[in-house]
A and B are shown apart, each in its own frame.
Chain A
Amino acid sequence: MSSIKEYLTNDHRRCDDVFAKMEERAHNSLLDAKELTQEFIANMERHFQMEERVMFLEFETKTDMTMGPTEMMRQEHSQMRNLMSQLLEAIENDDKDKFFGLSETLMILLQQHNMKEEQMLYAMAQQHLSAESDRIVEMMDSLVVE
């Protein structure tokens, strides 16, 4: 079983790959990219929920830091959710410029967010939750997205 850090970091890379495919498809036709955009958003939502409903809660319970870094990560999740919903709107309006403007913004926001998580939060979570690592990874793995 991989560690919390490895599991969530690998999931970041999976989302990046779908993002790249989505952009590639969108270059040819926005409408053709709709399915991949939905897939990307679904993957991201699953990742966010694995963190918000499992890992962050465990971390907060263990460290008593409820208004700390996890809250800030939730805030950035909400920024990204907002951008992702606009991506779908851009597809509906067949507005390529808007789509790529949003995807570029999302990409940078996403990457700097991932970097903070991978280099700080996950490392910290792994340190505090190492004894429960397997259980937490299993819970994240079996999560049903709401």
Chain B
Amino acid sequence: MDFNGLSIDQAPPISAPLRFFIMAPIFGILVGFLLLFSDSATLMNRYSIDAIVVVHLITIGIFGFIMLGALTQMLSVLAGVNIPKIETVATFSHAALLLGLFSMVFGLEMSNTLLLRLASLFLGSGFLVIIGSMLYAIKGVQHFTASIKGMSVALIFAFMIVLMGVYLLYGYSENDITGLHYIVANIHSVWAVFGFAGILIIGVAFQVLPMFYVAPRFKQFCKKRVVLLISTGLFIWMVLSIFAQEHTLYAKLWVTTFFWAFATTVWIKFNKRKRPVSDVTVWYWRAASIFLTLGSFLWIYDEFFKHEYIVMVGILIGGGFVLSIMLGMLYKIVPFLVWFHLNALGYMTIPTINEMINKKFSRLQFLLLMLSLVGFIFSFYMSEFLIPSSLFFIVSMAILEYNILAPVWIYHTTRKKKPDFDMSAFSMT
């Protein structure tokens, strides 16, 4: 039995998740500015360079950074294992992903072969090192709960979408865009959203909803079968998209049924929760349920309209579902990490986690994000909505950055003071 993670001594250093979290809103601001100066017609073509750049700044820069940062911490709490050499792995992957993402953005926009090759190298190594380390750590788990199974499957999907991403970037760097490129691009994007982000969220929800909100537990069928059924659906969908494109609708129906059921279940569980608190994290979970439901239905509807609505599906599921959950989690994780690390170091007079983030600011941030998402959807029909929506998004991300930095600032200023108690006696090292 591995007891790593049971103590603060072996818990991942606070810098491992924070370095990822702090960068995410900065990418959000960057995305907002790119959208502000973009042409909505170009963005509506999912394979346009501008669209690919914006999508990857969101998926890698925001989602990827938040999910990887959260996983460095969650593995120790949910699975009881620590990533080997976590500090080195997090520092390397963080730097490699940053370099890789910027190389990709400039490489694509400037059609620069060298930058695109560097992007493949940095993004590939940055992702594979941290994902590989996480999977290696999970190997040591002795009691596989539904959450850990979900995380493992999500990481396996992540591993595969990274390999596909490297292949796709190679295609751009060699200017070798074949029919296969579009098939792989489609699988890469669908597996990233449903296989990695979707399954990870479902896996974490099994544990988090009953715990933090004292909501009813998920049924054994959900915990034991849903991840397997979705993965099978995604695999079948992949096979059909390669060999029998005309039948992909059946696999899509299979996958979306489970995601729609998940969205509904989350909504019902929040209705039945015993803990009455209704903070911004609850709003985010609820918003995510609504966006996921709409996005799932539109993904099916889109099948009958030559994929005209696929970008809107992306906004609903990527922005409305995945981003909402990520931010809902961040508002719990960041202040708690700061409180927990300071308290374990012997500081007793520290603000509570509700005092670290200004409630009004977090509500405003939520509101602006929701307005921007709805505006982005409308800009599908009325391009004049793009500018105000982009501005809302920029301000929302700037407030998010402030809300993350405020507790981090408290951590740094408190560390400069002498602890109330000397905790070295508890050290196991």
Spell out A's residues near B (CB within 8 Å). Answer: 16-17, 19-21, 23-24, 27, 67-69, 71-73, 75, 79, 82, 97-98, 100-102, 104-105, 107-109, 111-112, 114-116, 119-121, 123-124, 127
Are the C-beta atoms of A101 and B3 separated by less than 8 Å?
Answer: no
Q: B268-283 toward A: CB 8 Å interface, digit per residue (1/0)?
A: 0000011111010000
Which stretch (B197-205, B225-233, B352-360) binds chain A? Answer: B352-360
B77 within 8 A of A: yes
Question: By DSSP majority rule, is chain A's interface helix, strand, loop, or mixed?
Answer: helix
- A101 to B143, alpha carbons, bound, how many Å? 33
B244 within 8 A of A: no
Determine how close the nearest CB of chain A comes to the CB of B372; give it in whole angstroms: 27
- A107 to B211, alpha carbons, bound, how many Å? 9
In the assembled complex, which residues on chain A have CB atoms less than 8 Å from the CB atom of B79? 119
Are the C-beta atoms of B1 and A120 separated by less than 8 Å?
Answer: yes
Cβ-defined partner of B352 (8 Å) among A68, A102, A123: A102
In the assembled complex, which residues on chain B have CB atoms less than 8 Å from the CB atom of A27? 276
CB within 8 Å for A104 and B352 given contacts A23-B276, A23-B277, A73-B6:
yes
Are the C-beta atoms of B426 and A105 separated by less than 8 Å?
Answer: no
Cβ-defined partner of A124 (8 Å) among B1, B276, B351, B426: B1
Q: B126-143 toward A: CB 8 Å interface, digit per residue (1/0)?
A: 000000000000000011
In the assembled complex, which residues on chain B have CB atoms less than 8 Å from the CB atom of A75? 7-8, 344, 426
In the assembled complex, which residues on chain A have CB atoms less than 8 Å from the CB atom of B211? 111, 114-115
Determine how close the nearest CB of chain B comes to the CB of A47; give it in whole angstroms: 16
CB within 8 Å for A104 and B354 given contacts A20-B275, A120-B1:
yes
CB within 8 Å for A123 and B276 given contacts A101-B352, A105-B339:
no
Are the C-beta atoms of B6 and A121 separated by less than 8 Å?
Answer: yes
Are the C-beta atoms of B426 and A71 separated by less than 8 Å?
Answer: yes
